[in-house]
Structure 1
């Protein structure tokens, strides 16, 4: 159960604030809805209370979980390298991960795309997914770690300095 003013995360949309609970008659039956305003774009969503968990609405991660996500981004031991898998298949896989609502899945997509981009140019769709995953991660971690989105992005960029600015880091 979420309460007004609580920060929550809606899959693929990001961090939102529960503005209120509202009852409405839908199909002749009364239903309760969370009214959630997404912080990044001011879109307001109506999420059925009974279905909130099924659609992936979840509480904001804790500071400890946020730090673990940052640590996981820095750790490249699980990256197997660019496998040559076609961009369309990767795009579908990554889109599904972003829709899952799992912060770990979003971090996985971000790390994979940043590291794949080191070896080859990302497609337009992959660049959009990279931007989306960066936005989702940085906004949630900024709230969880009580800092700014810019600070979190700067921390992540330090982890991937060799990828984002290869000319400054000759091998």
Structure 2
């Protein structure tokens, strides 16, 4: 019995030792957990003064930032003072305008010289004969300047002796109107060749043909004028012209004969005789050719 009791005692002692060890471990775990918890709690407590210190430090650091705009004030004033320096190129703008004006002044003589050259090419001299499309041969009496509607205009004073009329034509509008110089002797040869040709009469209504003849007469072109004279001419052997045909023929013949007389420096009547002899000879020749064919 004693052995059993001893064994039981030993077992109980071993159980007590195990329970004590468990209790000790539990206590150790509890202490460790309390230490960790205390550290965790202590960490924010220590962090709190850091945060407060940082909060307090912010206004301390902010103080020089506030002082910075005070120091920046003179910089702003310096920028305001620098405005006139930027305004310096504004002062330079009149120099640019001056250069533009100088360029215009330099360009103006070139333009004026070009205009003079053009004017010289188009100019007619006093006592010179010219052809005005709707009136025929005229003579320039003089070149005068007149103020019309606030503008100074240089004009040709042209006299038409047969029509007893004088016209004032601005120099700038001579091309537009169609005023031209007298034809040359070489051009007169072409005129005589057209007169020797065969008449070309279109088979259309007379009213339409009459309009075409009038436009040719008033065109100012000596070749078209010659065509009208050739087409409306009638020889003694040919049938007579109508009244309207005769009027158009005489108007065209007078225009052409005046220009021929001025070119050859002869009388107008002599020029008409020369033209009609050419027309008569050409008609005889054309009739002979037609009979042969």
User: Fold conserved (TM > 0.5)?
Assistant: yes
Q: After TM superposition, where is structure 1 displaced by more than 3 Å over at least 4 residues in a row? A: 115-123, 162-165
Would the alpha carbon gap of residues 24 and 5 (structure 1) be closer, same or farther in structure 2, given more than 3 Å must change?
A: same
1:85 aligned residue: 204
Instruction: Find the structure with the greater CA-based Rg.
Output: 2
Measured in 1, the distance between the counterparts of 2:237 and 2:136 equals: 26
Give the superposed CA RMSD: 2.7
Structure 1 unaligned blocks of 5 or more: none
Question: In the TM superposition, what is the alpha-carbon distance from 1:163 to its structure 2 partner?
Answer: 9.3
Q: Which has the larger strand fraction?
A: 1
1:29 aligned residue: 151
Question: In the TM superposition, what is the alpha-carbon distance from 1:126 to its structure 2 partner?
Answer: 2.5
Q: Does the CA contact (< 8 Å) of 1:157 and 1:164 recur in 2?
A: no
Structure 2 unaligned blocks of 5 or more: 1-122
Measured in 2, the distance between the counterparts of 1:85 and 1:138 equals: 28
Measured in 1, the distance between the counterparts of 2:186 and 2:167 equals: 28
Question: In the TM superposition, what is the alpha-carbon distance from 1:146 to its structure 2 partner?
Answer: 1.9
Question: In the TM superposition, what is the alpha-carbon distance from 1:120 to its structure 2 partner?
Answer: 5.7
2:271 aligned residue: 152
**Alignment partner of 1:131 out of 250, 255, 265:** 250
Flag the structure with more relative contact order, 1 or 2, with Cα contacts below 8 A and sequence separation at least 6. Answer: 1
Task: Count residues with an aligned counterpart.
Answer: 164
Measured in 1, the distance between the counterparts of 2:160 and 2:254 equals: 13
Question: In the TM superposition, what is the alpha-carbon distance from 1:99 to its structure 2 partner?
Answer: 1.4
Q: Does the CA contact (< 8 Å) of 2:158 and 2:168 recur in 1?
A: yes
Deviates more, 1:98-107 or 1:58-67: 58-67
Q: Which has the larger helix fraction?
A: 2
Q: Does the CA contact (< 8 Å) of 1:114 and 1:163 recur in 2?
A: no
Q: Does the CA contact (< 8 Å) of 2:235 and 2:283 recur in 1?
A: no
Q: Does the CA contact (< 8 Å) of 1:7 and 1:15 recur in 2?
A: yes
Measured in 1, the distance between the counterparts of 2:229 and 2:134 equals: 13
TM-score by length of 2: 0.51
**Alignment partner of 1:141 out of 260, 276, 289:** 260
Q: Deviations over 1:65-115 (max 9, x none)?
A: 123212221122xx34x3331111011111111111011111111111115
2:225 aligned residue: 106
Would the alpha carbon gap of residues 106 and 118 (structure 1) be closer, same or farther in structure 2, given more than 3 Å must change?
A: farther
